[in-house]
Amino acid sequence: MNSFSKIIAGTMTWGVWGKNYSIAQMSDLIIEALSIGISTFDHADIYGGYTTEAAFGAAFKQSKVERSSVQFISKCGIQLPSTERPLSVKHYDYTKEHILKSVELSLQNLKTDYLDVLLLHRPSPLMDPHEIALAIEQLKVQGKVKSFGVSNFTPAQKDLLRSENLIEWNQIECSLTQPEAMFNGTYNYMMHHQIGAMAWSPLGNYFKNDHPQKTRLKPLINKMCEIYSASEDQVLLAWLLKHPAEIFPIVGTTQAPRLKKALEALKIKLTFQDWFLLLEASLGHEVP
C-alpha cells in the first residue's frame, strides 16, 4: 500500500465516456500527474465500452514513463453489452476462464506485464469463491497480479471470498454526501481485517444539480474554505481523508491543476468539531 499515491487518478472519463482525449493528451496527463506526485491510476476493463484501457496503454507507452514509477489498478467481471462485446444482456462473469482472459486483455491493453491490483468490479449472485481463488492464485504465481481486492462488496460478500482467498483492497463509494459506509460497518470491517480502502466518487454529488443536501452544506463549506484557506473540493476530500481507515480517494478529474489541488488537500487537517459539523449538515440532523 505504501507505494501507492494517496490520491489516485481515476481514468473512467479520460476516453470516450468523457473527455475523449487523444493519445498525446493522455500521455501529457500521465506525465503531469506523475510530476506532482500522483502515480496510481485506476482502470476497469469496461471503461469506454472496453476501449479506454487500450488508449491509456498507448499513451503510457508514448510517455516513456518507467513502469516501476507507476501503479495500475484494474477491475473485471462486468460483462457490458457494447460495440466491442455484442452481448444479449449485462451480467457478471467470475469464472476462472473469464478472470484469466480479462487480466490478459488488460495487460495487453495497458502495455504492462502485471497489475498492481486486480479488483472484482461488483459482486455477482453466481460467484464461486473457490473458482475465483483458483484464478487469483494462478495470476499471482505467474506474477501478473500483485494484489487482489474487490469493489462495491459488503462485509458478508467479502467474508465469502475471504474463506478462499486474501482480500487486500475494497473500493467503494464514499463521500460527505454519501457517508453510509461509515455507519453500516463497511469501514469497521476493513480496518479490523486490514483491508485497504479506496473511495470512488469522493466528492459525491456536491457539484451536481442543486438539492437539499447541497443547500445545507454549501454555506458551511464556504465557511470552512475561509478557515482552512481551501477550495470546496479540498474541504470535501479533507473530510474523507480524516477517517482512520486511511482512505485513498479516487479522483475522476481529467485536469492536471485539479489533480494538484486534490493532492494539496492532504495538508488540511479538519478539527473533530468541524468534521462533525459537516456530517450534521450532510445528514440534515445531528449525529445519532
**Active-site amino acid positions:** 47
Q: Over the range 156-165, which residues count as b (16 or more CB within 10 Å of their CB) and which as e?
A: ebbebbbeeb
Residue 98: C-alpha distances to residues 79, 94, 141 (Å): 10, 6, 18
* Grid coordinates given for 273: 468539531
The DSSP letter of residue 279 is H
- Using CA atoms, how far apart are residues 277 and 186, in angstroms rounded to an integer? 22
Contact partners, residue 90, CB within 8 Å, separation at least 6: 78, 79, 80, 81
* Grid coordinates given for 73: 489498478
Q: Assess contact for 63 and 30: CB atoms under 8 A.
A: yes
Cα 62 to its chain centre, rounded Å, is 24
Residue 215: C-alpha distances to residues 194, 230, 237, 239, 266 (Å): 37, 19, 19, 18, 26
Q: Assess contact for 240 and 248: CB atoms under 8 A.
A: no
- Using CA atoms, how far apart are residues 194 and 260, in angstroms rounded to an integer? 29
